[in-house]
Amino acid sequence: MADQHSAAAQMPQLVEGPFPLSTLRHSVAHLMASAVQNLFPGVRFGFGPSIEHGFYYDFDLPEPLTEKDLARIEKEMRRIAQHSPAIQMRTVTREEARKILAGQGQDFKVEAVDLIPEGEAITFYYHGPEGKEWGDLCEGPHLDSFKDHKFFFKLLSLAGAYWRGDEKNPMMQRIYGTAFWTQAELDAHLAWLEEVKRRDHRRLGSELDLFSTHPEAGAGFVFWHPNLGTVRRCLEELWWEQHEKNGYEPVYTPHVSRESLFAVSGHLENYADMMYAPMELDEMPYRVKPMNCPGHVLIYKDRGRSYRELPLRWAELGTVYRYERSGVVHGMLRVRGFTQDDAHIFCSADQLADEIAGVCRMVDFFMKTFGFEYTAYLATRPAEHTIGDADIWERATQALRDAADSIGLKLELDEGGGAFYGPKIDYKIKDALGREWQNSTIQCDFNLPQRFDMTFTNHEGKPERPIMVHRAILGSLERFVGVLTEHYGGRFPFWCAPHQVAVIPIREEHSAYAKTLVDRLRGQRYRVEAMLEAGHMNKKIKTAQKAQIPFMLIVGEREAQDGTVAVRPRGDGDQVVVPFEDFLSKIEILRRDRVAE
RNA sequence: GCUGCUGUAGCUCAGUGGUAGAGCACUUCCUUGGUAAGGAAGAGGUCAUGGGUUCAAGUCCCAUCAGCAGCUCCA
């Protein structure tokens, strides 16, 4: 409990400043730009807004910047701030703006002028020593002065970024930084960044022996080590348990199919650049599956279906392969082969709302189990390129709303954010570090039933088109477990921890008693790290602590005599000596109820 | 894919064109220790891979692979 709620893990609490924080940060971005201009005279400027945790500014420079330059720029910023008693706004006409910027060779800024809508004021903001003010095209607002306010900033990192975020445009150099009204807040933010780094699942992945990737296998392919394999097995057990309780049935589908299957499903025309190249078998092209849905449709179509068997709920932990561009693969969070916790529900239109509600309840159950807060978004019909009549879109969207209403789930609106084939509900979860992730999704699909000409016989004996619902709760196991690792900082709750209990005798002569504990625990299917070999108790404690094992049982003479154990929880908790039987009943509850620590 | 950076022992990292280094981890021996590092010794490297420059390359150059920070794109 202590660790993930420690001060460093929390987003800094912000104090009120004389101006909103975003204004400060935007102004500091200007300050940075003026410093860059002083140090690198030929610079051309892009955009420099404030963002969630700070600000950035994009520059076009002949030479690449290095980390060393950041310190120089910071220094120059402090100097300029001291000589900037006033920040002043000047309103100009569109023509004047163009002229000023063209005269300075600021081509990107000239383009920026054209982006300002007709009728809006065009303004410049100036700061710096009198007579040598530096000005930037900007809608503001800004501080009134740098010199008269106390503020604290730090430049953090360098990156490339396309002009106006379009990969067809030239690449600029971006400097990220952050700013606060107090040193304490800046320090807290930097500590938070450190904590994010410390909890990085790639780092924990190697520290805790969780997973690896290998150049020999190629980028974006994850190898699950025994420790993380154990976590995954626990999740899968929970997953199947919940799916059985909710009326889902397991299906398994092949990883490779004839290409023509994906032609019928439409993946080939819409998704080909994400799919692996075809392979020839018996002079016929085959493909590795990028999604599980076509396979489930084939099962549906294997025989006629009656309204009496609907809804059908079919679940599969299905591994899919997608080509991701080389620069985007990232640990377990963005990979080229992953396992979706997939399911498809085939139902009639009037069953839709109930089915959606059922899925929402499951999402809620899982997210509570893992301790994630979440927000749900209703994504409605996009403006163009959709399939299905307006009528069915309207009914399905209403079904999603009704479903949410029926279980008291509040939906934020994501207008026009639906897929081309139907409306959906997407979930964003918030982890222990306050970061957001998108995992769960519930999507109505009118497309595949039509493409595959799926039908069921309704009570009038007529063929009717089912609605297909795609849904994933965890998203992909790789991404989810990666997020979970960071969420817990490697301190997996007892029920899914790779090793649950470490047994540590104080002296070798206590090994016999320790061994009886190990045997009892193993007999009840606990995952026990038996540290019975000769060696120092302190070292074993340290090892167990570093491995984040939830409980250490430390036993010596007194414990052996009394049939007790000294329970040392990981982290800062107090050690207690309890009868071994008491310990057993305590952990039984932690396991059975999957208690989130 | 794009821009920039990086690749030395399992991990974290030094290494200035001239004999490959440290700490931790690991192995062995000694140590019997009541709650996060007892001591000693040992082993561990084709310096990512392939080419090039040089009398000489971990070090300089090129390519490839992989990783990192982002951008774009995504579960």
CA distance linking residue A279 with residue A72, whole number of Å:
55
- pLDDT above 90 (res A544): yes
- Å between CA of A211 and C1' of B49: 24
pLDDT tops 50 at residue A112: yes
Cis geometry, peptide bond prior to residue A141 (ω within 30 degrees of 0)? yes
pLDDT tens digits, one per residue of A200-256:
999 999 999 999 999 889 999 999 999 999 999 999 999 999 999 999 999 999 999
Residue tagged 């899982």 (tokens): A366
Q: What is the pLDDT of residues A167-195, one digit of tens each?
A: 889 899 999 999 999 999 999 999 888 89
> Is the CB of residue A541 inside 7 Å of nucleic acid strand B?
yes
Q: Lowest-pLDDT range, A357-366, A420-429, A584-593?
A: A420-429
Cβ of residue A478 lies below 7 Å from strand B: yes
List the A26 CA – B5 C1' distance (angstroms).
27
pLDDT at A345 over 60: yes
Cβ-Cβ contacts under 8 Å for A33 (sequence gap 6 or more): A45, A48, A57, A59, A134, A136
Distance A539 CA to B26 C1' (A): 14
Q: Is the pLDDT confidence value at A120 over 90?
A: no
Could you give the domains of chain A? 17-180 (3.30.980.10), 211-253+292-488 (3.30.930.10), 254-288 (no CATH), 494-592 (3.40.50.800)
ipTM score assigned to the predicted complex: 0.93
Residues of A with a catalytic annotation lie at: 293, 322, 340, 342, 344, 424, 470
How do strand A152-162 and strand A50-51 relate by DSSP bridges? unpaired
Q: Is the CB of A158 under 7 A from strand B?
A: yes
Q: Name the helix (H) or strand (E) containing A374.
A: strand A373-379
- Whether the CB of A561 is less than 7 Å away from nucleic strand B comes out as no
Mean per-residue pLDDT, A569-592: 93
The per-residue pLDDT for range A251-268, each reduced to its tens digit, is: 999 999 999 999 999 899
- In this prediction, residue A5 carries a pLDDT of 38
> For residue A62, what pLDDT is reported?
84
Q: What percent of chain A is modeled with pLDDT above 70?
A: 98
Residue A306 DSSP label? B
Q: Which of A120-129, A477-486, A521-530 has the lowest mean pLDDT?
A: A120-129
Cis amide leading into A311 (omega within 30)? yes
Name the nucleotide nearest A171; use CA and C1'.
B3
* Among the ranges given (A26-40, A254-268, A374-388, A540-554), the one the predictor scored with the smallest mean pLDDT: A374-388
Q: CB neighbours (10 Å) of residue A287? A: 23
pLDDT exceeds cutoff 60 at A84 = yes
- pLDDT beyond 50 at A6: no
CB-based contact A205:A224 (threshold 8 Å): no
A501 pLDDT above the threshold of 90: yes
| A 81-120: CB within 7 Å of strand B | none
Closest protein residue to B11 using CA and C1' atoms? Answer: A207
The pLDDT assigned to A69 comes to 87
Q: Is the CB of A169 under 7 A from strand B?
A: no
**Residues 350-369 of chain A in contact with strand B via CB under 7 angstroms:** none
